[in-house]
C-alpha cells in the first residue's frame, strides 16, 4: 500500500520505519533488521543524530542483496538552524554524505521555525538551544527556505520535498510562491489528536499526509513528556477492537490511520515489534470502529515547541 505523490507520481509506502530515538549504537543493525522485515521507507532527520548509522544499515542491506537503493524510500529533514538558503543547501549535502547516498526520496522542513545558525563543526546535531542554553530565533522566511528545497530538487538531491509541523495558514502561504508544491505533510496525528480540518485540507490540496507518534503518549514517556495521558496501547476501546480482529493494539492504532490513507512511520528498537507494526494493513476496521477510535480525540498535542520556549507557539 502506498500514497502516490503528486508531480513525480512516486509511491510512498503507507508504513515506514521511524528513526527518532533509535539507539545510535544499534541503529545500523536495527535498520538492517527493519529492511529485512520488509520496511522500504526510512524516516530520518538531521536532528535524530543517527543518519550515519542508519546509512550503514542501508549499505549492508544493499551489499547483502536484500534491496537495491531504488527499492528504498529514504526521508530526511532539514533542522531549524539551517533555514537560510546556503545553509539548507549545504546541510542537505552533508546529510546525504552521512547516509552515504546520492539523493533523498523525500526531504522535509522539520519545523516552520528558523533558529540561529550553528556551525556543524561546533555542534551537530545542534538541537534547540544555543551555547548559552537559550533559544535564538533567526530572521529567515519559509519562502527563502522553500527556494532552497526547490533547488535541491533541480539538482537531483531530493526527489520530493515537503513540510512538517505546518498548519493550514502556512501551507496556503507556501502555495502562493511555490514553484514546486510540497508533496508531503508530516504531522503529529493519533486518536488523541485527530486533526480532521488539517487532514481535510491536505486531501483537498493533494498533499500526502504522514502521521507521526501514532501511539500517542508512548513515545513521550521516556522523555517525561507524556502529560500523564492514558496509554493508547492499553486503552480498553483499542484492546477490545484488537481482540475482535485478533490484532495488537499497536496494529489497530496504525490501521486507523492507514485506512484513512494516512501514512505511518512507527519506531521501535525491538525486532518483533517492528515486524508486527509493518503487518498492520492485513485487516480492515469497520466505519463504526474508525469513528469510535476517532472519538477519543482530546486535541492532546505531545510535540509542541511552545513548551520549549513560548515564542515557538507554532500551533497557537
Ligand atoms: P511512535 O508512535 O512510533 O512510538 C514509539 C514508541 O512506541 C516507542 O517507545 C516504542 O518502544 C513503542 N512501540 C513501538 N511499537 C510498539 C508496539 N508494537 N507495541 C508496543 N509499543 C510499541 O513514536 P515516534 O517515534 O514519536 O514517532 C514515529 C516517528 O515519527 C519517529 O521515529 C520519527 O521518525 C517521526 N517523528 C517526526 C516528528 C516531526 O517533527 N516531524 C516528530 C516526532 C516523530
Per-residue model confidence as pLDDT tens digits over 166-219: 999 999 999 999 999 999 999 999 999 999 999 999 999 999 999 999 999 999
Using the 8-state DSSP alphabet, how is residue 115 labeled? B
Q: Grid coordinates standing for 271?
A: 525486532
* Interacting residues of 187 by C-beta distance below 8 A, sequence separation 6+: 164, 165, 166, 195, 198, 209, 210, 211, 212
In the chain, how many domains are there? 1
Q: For residues 311 and 154, what is the distance between their CA atoms, to the nearest angstrom?
A: 34
List the CATH number of the domain containing 298: 3.20.20.100
Grid-cell match 543524530, residue found: 49
Hey, whose CA ends up nearest to atom 27 of ligand 1? Answer: 213
- Cα 63 to ligand 1 centroid, rounded to whole Å: 28
Low-confidence ranges of the chain (pLDDT < 50): none
Cα distance from N-terminal residue to C-terminal residue, the chain = 34
Ligand 1 atom 2: the closest Cα is on which residue?
213
Please give the pLDDT value at position 113: 98
Cα angle vertex 275, ends 207, 101, to 5°? 60
- Measured N-to-C along each axis, helices 51-63 and 24-37 cross at an angle, to the nearest 10 degrees, of 40
pLDDT value, residue 33? 98
Write out residues with Cβ below 6 Å of ligand 1.
18-20, 43, 110, 164-165, 186, 212-215, 218-219, 233, 248, 250, 265-268, 273, 276-277, 303
What is the average pLDDT score of the chain? Answer: 98
> Could you tell me the sign of the dihedral formed by the alpha carbons of 112, 115, 121, 122, in that order?
negative
Which residues span the domain enclosing 307? 2-312
Atom number of ligand 1 nearest to Cα 43: 34
> Which of 32, 48, 117, 212 does the annotation list as catalytic?
48
110 is in an annotated binding site: yes
Cell 469510535, residue located = 292
- State yes or no: is 32 an active-site residue: no
Query: CA 230 to CA 56: how far, in whole Å?
Result: 37
Alpha-helix residue ranges (DSSP H) falling in 212-303: 218-221, 236-245, 249-258, 271-278, 287-294
The CA 94 to ligand 1 mean position distance, Å, reads: 25
251 CA distance to ligand 1 centroid (A)? Answer: 13
Which atom of ligand 1 is the closest one to the Cα of 108? 41
Give residue 176 CA to ligand 1 midpoint distance, Å: 33
* Torsion sign, CA atoms 11, 52, 164, 178: negative
Mutational test site, ligand 1, from 215, 262, 278, 312, max ligand atoms within 8 Å of CB = 215
- Contact (Cβ atoms closer than 8 angstroms) between residue 108 and residue 77: yes
Q: State whether residue 179 is helix, strand or coil.
A: coil
Strand ranges for 47-194 from DSSP E? 73-78, 104-109, 158-164, 184-188
Residue nearest to atom 30 of ligand 1 (CA): 212
Cα–ligand 1 centroid distance for 179 (angstroms): 33
Residues 6+ apart with CB under 8 A from 3: 11, 12, 14, 208, 209, 261, 263
Ligand 1 mutation target, pool 13, 268, 303, most atoms within 8 A of CB: 268
Amino acid at each position: 500500500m502506498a500514497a502516490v505523490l503528486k508531480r513525480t507520481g512516486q509511491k510512498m509506502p503507507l508504513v515506514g520505519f521511524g528513526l527518532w530515538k533509535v539507539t545510535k549504537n544499534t541503529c545500523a543493525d536495527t535498520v538492517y533488521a527493519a529492511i529485512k522485515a520488509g520496511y522500504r521507507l526510512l524516516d530520518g532527520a538531521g536532528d535524530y543524530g543517527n543518519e550515519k548509522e542508519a546509512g550503514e544499515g542501508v549499505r549492508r542491506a544493499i551489499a547483502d542483496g536484500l534491496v537495491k537503493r531504488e527499492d528504498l524510500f529514504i526521508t530526511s529533514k532539514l533542522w531549524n538552524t539551517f533555514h537560510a538558503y546556503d545553509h539548507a543547501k549545504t546541510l542537505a549535502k552533508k546529510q546525504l554524505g552521512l547516509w552515504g547516498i546520492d539523493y533523498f526520496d523525500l526531504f522535509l522542513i522539520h519545523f516552520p521555525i528558523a533558529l540561529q545558525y550553528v556551525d556543524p563543526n561546533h555542534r551537530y546535531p545542534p538541537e534547540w538551544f544555543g551555547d548559552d542554553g537559550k533559544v535564538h530565533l533567526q530572521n529567515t522566511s519559509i519562502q527563502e527556505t522553500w527556494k532552497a528545497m526547490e533547488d535541491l530538487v533541480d539538482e537531483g538531491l531530493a526527489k520530493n520535498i515537503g513540510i512538517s509541523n505546518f498548519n493550514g495558514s502556512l501551507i496556503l502561504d507556501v502555495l502562493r510562491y511555490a514553484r514546486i508544491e510540497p508533496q508531503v505533510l508530516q504531522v503529529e496525528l493519533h486518536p488523541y489528536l485527530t486533526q480532521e480540518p488539517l487532514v481535510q485540507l491536505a486531501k483537498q490540496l493533494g498533499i500526502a499526509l504522514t502521521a507521526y507518534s501514532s501511539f500517542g503518549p508512548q513515545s513521550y514517556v521516556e522523555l517525561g513528556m507524556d502529560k500523564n495521558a492514558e496509554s493508547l496501547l492499553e486503552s480498553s476501546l483499542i484492546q477490545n477492537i484488537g481482540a475482535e480482529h485478533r490484532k495488537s493494539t499497536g496494529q489497530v492504532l496504525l490501521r486507523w490511520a492507514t485506512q484513512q490513507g494516512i501514512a505511518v512511520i512507527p519506531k521501535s528498537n525491538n525486532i518483533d515489534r517492528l515486524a508486527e507494526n509493518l503487518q498492520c494493513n492485513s485487516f480492515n476496521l469497520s466505519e463504526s470502529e474508525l469513528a469510535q477510535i476517532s472519538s477519543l480525540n482530546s486535541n492532546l498535542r505531545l510535540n509542541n515547541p511552545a513548551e520549549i520556549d513560548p515564542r515557538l507557539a507554532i500551533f497557537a
